[in-house]
Amino acid sequence: MMSICFNEKIKIKPDALDEVIIGANQDIRQVLHNLSMWCANSKTLSADQARTDANSAKKDVKVVS
């Protein structure tokens, strides 16, 4: 994910990216979507902003055994 951010010129610290990944339940499609939406206006994302946005963007996941 850091490679993708570097190639897309998105300035994000590893801890902020971790928050995005955790918030998306490690779904790479959701991570990419969230990054594209959050960085549409600004190519920087702080850890605090990532944490807040990731919490609001969490999917409802129901695990059935």
Whole-number pLDDT of residue 59: 62
Per-residue b or e along 9-35, where b marks 16 or more CB atoms closer than 10 Å to that residue's CB: ebebeeebbbbbbebbeeeeebbeebb
The answer as to whether 63 is a domain residue is no
- The share of the chain scoring above pLDDT 70, in percent, equals 83
- pLDDT tens for each residue of 18-32: 888 888 889 999 899
- The CATH number of whichever domain residue 26 belongs to comes to 1.10.8
Question: Which element (helix H / strand E) includes 21?
Answer: helix 14-23
The answer as to whether 49 is a domain residue is yes
- pLDDT tens for each residue of 39-53: 777 777 777 777 777
Number of domains in the chain: 1
Domain carrying residue 33: 2-56
* 35, 7 contact by CB (below 8 A): no
